[in-house]
Amino acid sequence: MALHLMRKRCGCWGFIRALHTATETARDPKRDGMKRVFSGIQPTGIPHLGNYLGAVESWVRLQDEYGSVLYSIVDLHSITVPQDPATLRQSILDMTAALLACGINPEKSILFQQSQVSEHTQLSWILTCMVRLPRLQHLHQWKAKTAKQKHDGTMGLLTYPVLQAADILLYKSTHVPVGEDQVQHMELVRDLAQGFNKKYGEFFPVPKPILTSMKKVKSLRDPAAKMSKSDPDKLATVRITDSPEEIVLKFRKAVTDFTSEVTYDPASREGVSNIVAIHAAVTGLTVDDVVRQSAGMDTARYKLVVADAVIEKFAPIKNEIEKLKMDKDHLEKVLQLGAAKAKELAYPVCQEVKKLVGFL
């Protein structure tokens, strides 16, 4: 039942009593064996090829494989770097449209905006008080990002892995789809769950990572780096809303090497191997099948074949995004209803956590 309906029926105090009752009656994944998936994505506008193959595509599949699934647009995480408010608001709506167009179904999963559920920050503070500073300073992403920012990283950037842990534990999630670069952060999530349970009694499930089958999609211009929206080279990143002409140009300009044969050898042929991996992912073929079908084809011709496959994959998604972006009210309603559903799960957990740590 959506929260606004509960408020309407029960009135303010009745609503609060109803949520307190939910603390006792809501299904507990840890107790009844239910599996629950949680994952989040920053509102960076329209996803690129790497976002889609590395995360969103598997999210769509997981909706049918697990009984309880939550996907959050993690806008609180996005402000660890400076954001223009108007751009951020639009990016949240754009990401919502993109996720819906890719196949995220609000009837099968809960899609919501992180900042609309205040329990995320409440639990984050409690967990922050349980983690030592050196643990956060030794995380690879903190060191990498502060190096880029010339040691000018914010406290938000330092502590966001704890907020990430709160995002996951707040719903007593049992499984979290992650990429290779998030494995270290998942170790922190698991350690915080175990540390809380040891101090206050068994409460949080210790979530298990679901590693995505697709390795990191690399930049088309620098195969040593992962594909990124912030890449200054506009030819490096393929967005799922790029025009066919843009996609063809980007693949045609993709960095390979001086060997014309199509092979898969990430250690010695990063550029070609990245394109082969993309081709396999968008067609559903294995890498071996892709290489076998490309026998006798030079890399220049092969790049155009892969470009065509990407265009075909993204054409219906691109069209759906354009339609959804024209209906702002619908997108906002999806997020509001999702936040209400998420709140129903988050509130009783957060209340129980407060009780366990000694808050009145």
Q: Which residues are catalytic?
A: 145, 226, 229
Q: In 10 A of CB 247, how many CB atoms?
A: 21
Cα angle: 40, vertex 43, 45; to 5 degrees: 135
| Distance from C-alpha of 75 to C-alpha of 351, rounded to nearest angstrom | 23
Q: What H or E segment, with its residue span, contains residue 111?
A: strand 110-113
Q: In 10 A of CB 134, how many CB atoms?
A: 7
For the chain, the distance separating the N- and C-terminal CA atoms, rounded to the nearest angstrom, is 27
| Distance from C-alpha of 157 to C-alpha of 149, rounded to nearest angstrom | 11
> Burial of 48 by CB count in 10 Å (0-12 exposed, 13-18 middle, 19+ buried)?
buried
Structural tokens at position 137 = 């300073």
Cα angle: 128, vertex 54, 77; to 5 degrees: 30
Residue 322 CB contacts under 8 Å (≥ 6 apart), including other chains: 241
